[in-house]
Amino acid sequence: MKIIIQAVQFTADQKLVELAESKLQKLTHFYDRIIDATVYLKIDGKHSNIKDKQVEIKLNLPGSQIFVREDSKVFEEALDMAIDTTARQLKRIKERKREF
């Protein structure tokens, strides 16, 4: 699986990039036909005085695509929530394919 990590309007720390890559690699346990993954790391300070961190994950699968967006006060928590949501969606897709 090819992984692209993009930090929008800031430079991401190497530890954060490595954490995102390792968590995304674990998604192949749920669905092994993932073509590629793109992760967008954003800081959203428009809606409040406290800057929220936003993680968006886009997975390309054969014949479909998954997109997940999660917000939190820290990137690690937003990334965990996004990975959990993505894993649930991958399990659902795999179960549907088994039915046919």
Determine the Cα–Cα distance for residues 15 and 1; give it in Å rounded to an integer: 20
Alpha helices for the chain (secondary structure H): 14-25, 75-99
pLDDT at 47: 61
Domains and CATH numbers, the chain: 2-99 (3.30.160.100)
Residues in the chain: 100
Determine the Cα–Cα distance for residues 99 and 97; give it in Å rounded to an integer: 5
Q: What is the pTM of this model?
A: 0.89
- State yes or no: pLDDT of 54 exceeds 90: yes
